[in-house]
Amino acid sequence: MRNVRGLLALFLCFALIANAQGNTFRKVRYNGGSVSTTVNPDDWDNKLTVSSESIVLVLKDGQTITIIPKQVSSLSYGQEAHRRIGAAVGLAFLSLGVGALFALHKTKLHFIGINYSDKDGKKQGLLLQGDKSNFRAILVALQGVTGAPVSVAEKERSEIPAGVAVRTAVEPSENAKVAAPAGQAQSAPEAPESLAVTSNPDGAEVYVDGSLIGNAPVTLKLTAGKHTIRVSISGYKDWVREISAESGTQAHLTAALEKVD
């Protein structure tokens, strides 16, 4: 078990180093989102470069989309990527059209969603498709620079590489629906996000928005919205992440603490 953990830690270290220098992926498709383009969604050879400074997508028609990592609100994979980018339809133009985008849910291809805010604060989204040879590396690179968990349906979770934090999408159940007054649509009650936090080493103190919650490992129940998670233990540097919690989802974060020099 120690050998496995050691190999995983070594892999993540190499991934972080690569993220700092920049990873470039050329076998990428653009399947829809808030950018209008003449590029065919079946065309490969769009270029995606991921670094700690920026996420840059260069389309075959010459357009360049630049995203600041801290402006990424969520990452997603597979069917969940369709749902999340499709939810941006009311906020941004979808190049494939609504019907075409949601028809993609029948495929088994490796779709990756990036939801983000542009420089004007407007919500945007990109639906990309990676090849079977690179989609896992793309997910590792994107999470490495954004810190955002990858939202994925339970049945597709096995596709996500080890070491990548995930947020499991929870389908609302019929029992979760509540009666609404006459003339109003029914809605599900707001359920808190379940966030499991572990630390290396174990036992570190976990703070949410400045308040001590307990010691890792611990499971947090967070209201929807932005929160600051801080993990602290004597002799190590504080580990801090800002996350966007979503109602009714499950996620996991592992704080790998660095020793103080």
Q: Per DSSP, what are the bridge partners of residue 90?
A: none
pLDDT of res. 238 = 93
What CATH number does the domain containing 249 carry?
2.60.40.1120
**Across residues 141-149, what is the average pLDDT?**
92
Of the chain, the percentage scoring pLDDT greater than 70 comes to: 73
Instruction: Identify the CA nearest to 256 among candidates 10, 3, 1.
Output: 10
Q: Mention every residue, 6+ apart, whose C-beta is less than 8 A from residue 148.
A: 72, 73, 74, 75, 142, 243, 244
Structural domain containing residue 219? 191-256
Print burial letters for 113-148: b (CB count within 10 Å at least 16), e (below 16). Answer: bbbbeeeeeeebbbbbbbbeebbbbbbbbbbbbbbb
On whether both 103 and 150 belong to a single domain, the answer is yes
Q: Cα–Cα distance between 80 and 167 in angstroms, integer? A: 10
pLDDT of res. 16 = 45
Q: How confident is the model at residue 94 (pLDDT cuts 50, 70, 90)?
A: very low
pLDDT in tens, 214-226: 888 888 888 888 8
pLDDT in tens, 41-93: 889 999 999 999 999 999 999 999 999 999 998 999 998 887 788 766 444 44
pLDDT of res. 35 = 85
Q: What is the tally of structural domains in the chain? A: 2
pLDDT of res. 249 = 73
Per the CB < 8 A criterion, the answer to whether 152 and 77 are in contact is yes
Q: How confident is the model at residue 24 (pLDDT cuts 50, 70, 90)?
A: very high
Q: How confident is the model at residue 192 (pLDDT cuts 50, 70, 90)?
A: low
On whether both 110 and 234 belong to a single domain, the answer is no
Q: What is the pTM of this model?
A: 0.60
pLDDT at 120 over 70: yes
**Helical H segments across 22-121, by residue range:** 79-86, 98-103
| Direct distance between the N- and C-terminal alpha carbons of the chain, in angstroms, rounded to an integer | 28
Q: Are strands 72-77 and 64-67 parallel, antiparallel or unpaired?
A: unpaired
On whether both 118 and 229 belong to a single domain, the answer is no
On whether both 149 and 91 belong to a single domain, the answer is yes
Residue of higher predicted confidence among 247 and 124? 124
pLDDT in tens, 163-175: 888 988 765 443 3
Task: Report helix, strand or coil for 41.
Answer: coil
pLDDT at 178 over 90: no
On whether both 196 and 245 belong to a single domain, the answer is yes
pLDDT of res. 224 = 81
pLDDT at 159 over 90: yes
Q: In 44-183, where do the E strands start and end?
A: 46-50, 55-58, 64-67, 72-77, 110-117, 123-130, 150-153, 166-169
On whether both 151 and 233 belong to a single domain, the answer is no
**The two three-digit tokens of residue 55, written as one number:** 């996420």
pLDDT at 208 over 80: yes
On whether both 136 and 28 belong to a single domain, the answer is yes
On whether both 40 and 134 belong to a single domain, the answer is yes
As a whole number, the mean pLDDT across the chain is 78
pLDDT at 36 over 70: yes
Q: At what angle do helices 2-21 and 135-146 cross, to 10 degrees?
A: 80
